[in-house]
Amino acid sequence: MDSSHVENDLVNVLFTEEQIQARLAELAREIERDYDGKDLLIVGILRGAVMVMADLARSFGRHLEMDWMAVSSYGSGTKSSGVVRILKDLDTDISGRHVIIVDEIIDTGLTLSWLTSNLGSRSPASVEICTLLRKPEALQMPVDVKYVGWDIPNEFVVGYGLDYRERYRNLRDIGTLAPHVYS
């Protein structure tokens, strides 16, 4: 879906599809350099990271493995509840593996902090985080993020996997959702 289809729902477009693709390609090259010669597993966080994970993986010029987890800390609202639940766990044993968690956004940091700790307890060789977006002003928990697409203001954003009540995920751009939509 193009942003022109929902322009009355958006305050502005922060990143276009082209900008997102270019940034993901840059992140893939950086990850490839850092993990040259190492077996790499990227773990996408469902559902929001589907677009990021797919396009990031396609940007790699090498083999890698992918797995998925589903965790929840939002419910149906616009703010994190802080209580993390695993809805779908990994199918892959990560002991001794280099793992990169791929997410679309880091908001409060509560979910990723918990998830990093959880995966770290499974004896991986390493666990790092790659996120397309991070909201530094919204962080409530320090999270060491190795790969960041962009830092953004503490606004409610949608598109490219980011949703509001399961809508806008298929928007090709990322934009700030207008308050009248969720107020």
pLDDT in tens, 70-86: 998 755 555 555 678 89
β-pairing, 147-151 vs 126-134, is: parallel
Residue 22 lies inside a defined structural domain of this protein: yes
What is the distance between the alpha carbons of residues 130 and 115, in angstroms, rounded to a whole number? Answer: 13
As given in the structure block, the two tokens for residue 23 are 């940034």
Domain assignment present for residue 142? The answer is yes
* Residue at 99 is within a domain: yes
Burial of 131 (0-12, 13-18, 19+ CB in 10 A): buried
Per-residue pLDDT of the chain (183 residues; tens, 9 = 90+): 988 889 899 999 999 999 999 999 999 999 999 999 999 999 999 999 999 999 999 999 999 999 999 998 755 555 555 678 899 999 999 999 999 999 999 998 988 999 999 999 999 999 999 999 999 999 898 899 999 999 999 999 999 999 999 999 999 999 999 999 998
pLDDT of residue 81: 57
Q: Between helices 50-59 and 17-34, what is the axis angle to 10°? A: 60
In a domain, 93, yes or no: yes
Give the C-alpha separation, 141 to 109, whole Å. Answer: 5
pLDDT of residue 84: 84
CA dist., res. 161 & res. 70, Å (int) = 14
| DSSP 8-class letter at 86 | E
In a domain, 68, yes or no: yes
pLDDT given at position 83: 77
How high is the pLDDT of residue 74? 58
**pTM tops 0.95, yes or no:** no
pLDDT of residue 17: 97
Alpha carbon distance 133, 149 (integer Å): 6
Domain count, the chain: 1
CATH classification at residue 106: 3.40.50.2020
| Catalytic residue chosen out of the listed positions 9, 103, 107, 173 | 107
Across 31-173, where does the E strand assignment appear?
Answer: 40-46, 65-72, 85-88, 98-106, 126-134, 147-151, 157-158
List the one residue out of 130, 115, 114, 153 whose CA is nearest residue 42.
130
| Residue 119 falls inside a structural domain | yes
In sequence order, the 6+-apart residues with CB closer than 8 A to the CB of 4 are none
- Determine the structural domain holding residue 61 and report its residue range: 17-155
Euclidean distance between the first and final Cα of the chain, in Å?
A: 23
Asked if 107 is an active-site residue, the reply is yes
What pLDDT, on the 0 to 100 scale, is given for residue 85? 87
Q: Please report the pLDDT score of residue 78 as a whole number.
A: 52
